[in-house]
Amino acid sequence: MLKTETPSPRHTELDQYSVLDLVAAFVDDQFQAVQAVRDAAPRIAAAIAMAVPRVEAGGRLIYVGAGTSGRLGVLDSVELYPTFSWPTERAQALLAGGMGAMFQAVEGAEDDREQGGRDLLALAPTPNDVVFLLAASGGTPYVLGALHAARGAGALTIGIANNDHAPVALQAEVGITLDTGVEVISGSTRLKAGTSQKIVLNTISSALMVRLHKVYGNLMVDLKPTNAKLVRRAVRLTMHATGADEAAARRTLEQCRFHVKVAIVALLRQATVEQAETLLEQAKGSVRAALAL
């Protein structure tokens, strides 16, 4: 039996727990998710190293999964635009059963291996694309179909599973096994198995964005200010990075359509917005390198 399906020997009387004990059982079990990701760090680092040159060459990030795993992939993909100005067309997500399955389960969709392959091929994958294949069990047919289609197209495949010897990890170019063990509620991989997958996706996509110069120091300087909160954040980030007062930061941001990178370089180099944009282009988007030119 898969570890993720095996009943926990620690919580055989779970339905008899007090509310406080229930909270403790669920929360304490989540620490194993963090440890599982720590244990997989070398494989996660290998995935990032292999993905960087592909996305630098124009590749996309493509997420494939079913159920909870698929929804986590959708979540990671849609958050990249407001956080890092990553183009939406370069972050695609495939969910077994279609996007409607984000809100309501589509019975049997995850068992359709051929549909997984068709959906992946419909995106016209290229060797520069990076495809994340997510399956807690590690054997979801829809995901395996997409995996084989991606490999056939030469894309980088990163398989993420929560069971040892899982096909999705073994058959991908980079396999990441997150050994989270048994769940408090047997088989409910929306618990710590899902948590571990969320951590891994956050880690990989964020690390890629750092390598693509969308972070200066530890500041998210390539965000897309699509609402009032993000506009205020852009002002604060610019002030923090440059020491400018709010008026100067906002004035410069308004001149460059609230592109934090440009505002930082303009203020620190005492340059015009146009000059700052040129410096950033020469530095391939790196604020640090632009400041050194």
237 shares its domain with 156: no
Round to whole Å and give the CA distance between 196 and 64: 16
Name the pTM for this structure.
0.94
145 shares its domain with 228: no
Q: Quick one: tokens of 103?
A: 């809100």
Report pLDDT digits (tens) over 126-142: 999 999 999 999 999 99
The pLDDT of residue 92 is: 98
The pLDDT of residue 152 is: 98
- CATH number of 265's domain: 1.10.8.1080
Round to whole Å and give the CA distance between 263 and 252: 6
121 shares its domain with 239: no
Q: What is each CA distance from 230 to 151, 202, 222, 227, 292, in whole angstroms?
A: 38, 20, 11, 5, 28
**Would the pLDDT of 106 be above 90?**
no
Measured in whole angstroms, the distance separating CA 57 from the mean position of its chain's CA atoms is 19
Q: What is the mean pLDDT of residues 153-174?
A: 97
- Rounded to 10 degrees, what is the CA torsion of 169, 175, 180, 184? -40
The pLDDT of residue 128 is: 98
The pLDDT of residue 47 is: 98
Query: Which among 196, 211, 226 is the end of a domain?
Result: 211
The pLDDT of residue 107 is: 78
Query: Which among 211, 227, 260 is the end of a domain?
Result: 211
The pLDDT of residue 189 is: 94
Strands 215-216 and 174-177: unpaired
Round to whole Å and give the CA distance between 167 and 175: 9
180 shares its domain with 251: no
The pLDDT of residue 27 is: 97
128 shares its domain with 231: no
**Would the pLDDT of 105 be above 90?**
no
Rounded to 5 degrees, φ, ψ at 257 are 60, 40
73 shares its domain with 194: yes
Report pLDDT digits (tens) over 225-273: 989 999 999 999 999 999 999 999 999 999 999 999 999 999 999 999 9
261 shares its domain with 173: no
Query: Which among 193, 211, 229 is the end of a domain?
Result: 211
- CATH number of 200's domain: 3.40.50.10490
The pLDDT of residue 59 is: 98
Report pLDDT digits (tens) over 53-92: 999 999 999 999 999 999 999 999 999 999 999 999 999 9
Grouping H, G, I as helix, E, B as strand and the rest as coil, residue 9 is coil
Q: State the total domains in the chain.
A: 2
164 shares its domain with 40: yes
124 shares its domain with 240: no
Rounded to 5 degrees, φ, ψ at 61 are -105, 120
Residues spanned by the domain of 85 = 3-211
Report pLDDT digits (tens) over 19-53: 999 999 999 999 999 999 999 999 999 999 999 99
Mean pLDDT computed over every residue of the chain: 96
Q: What is the mean pLDDT of residues 162-179?
A: 97
224 shares its domain with 195: no
49 shares its domain with 136: yes
Catalytic residue set: 79, 110
62 shares its domain with 104: yes
Q: What is each CA distance from 24 to 30, 144, 184, 188, 212, in whole angstroms?
A: 10, 36, 11, 17, 40
Question: What is the share, in percent, of the chain residues with pLDDT greater than 90?
Answer: 95
